[in-house]
A = this chain, B = another copy of it.
Amino acid sequence: MSKTVPAVAPVAKSVEVPAAVRDAIAQLQMEYVHAIDNDELERWPQFFTEKCLYQIMPRADYDQKRLIGVWFCDNRGMLEDRVSSIREVNVYEPHVYRHVIGPTEILEMKDGVCRAQTSYLVVRTMHDGEMHVFSAGRYVDEIVMEGDTARFKKRMVVTDSWRYDTLVVIPI
């Protein structure tokens, strides 16, 4: 954790992004969490481009560039398979998530790819009604426009904790 303190730490400049793109990104971030939380999982793969990357990994691994992660999907078909097995197999203890996300910070816009980060908290509610903080962290995303629609080319779910409940069944 010890670092050299820079003489002058810069305040980041807000990245120039057309208003329509900014709105589409905000819409994407919002629909993504609503679809998961409100049991519309079938919509989840559609938030990604056909060829894509979805990973969940602890922050320590992300910082050390050990980008393996707990989940790894690199195309939309894998995401759809995930949804099918959640719907069909359904052996896990039923539970639901509730995400609350903060505002999205756009870090860079380059060659039509927007890098962005968004903080999230997830509260999980179990079948017996018990609630607990299940995950806290941030999304580190690469987003592209396909027509009027913003989609994730890459979504890294970087979790603050390295501990995972036995199984992350539902995507974060």
Binding site for B on A (CB under 8 A): 1-3, 5-6, 8-12, 14, 23-24, 26-27, 29-31, 33-34, 37-40, 42-47, 59, 80, 83-84, 86-88, 90, 94, 96, 98-103, 105, 117, 119-121, 123, 125, 128-133, 135-138, 149, 160-163
Contacts and interface: CB of A to CB of B under 8 A. Distances in A.
A103 B30 contact: yes
A87 B2 contact: yes
30 contacts: A1-B87, A2-B87, A2-B88, A3-B87, A9-B40, A9-B44, A9-B45, A10-B43, A11-B47, A11-B149, A14-B23, A29-B103, A34-B119, A34-B138, A38-B117, A59-B96, A99-B102, A100-B100, A100-B101, A100-B119, A100-B120, A100-B121, A123-B133, A125-B136, A125-B160, A129-B163, A130-B161, A130-B163, A131-B136, A132-B133
Contact of A160 (B3, B123, B162): B123
Interface of A is mostly: mixed
A33 B131 contact: no
Contacts of A1: 39, 86-87, 90, 94
A40 B5 CA distance: 10
Contacts of A103: 26, 29-30, 101
A34 B103 CA distance: 10
B42 A9 contact: yes
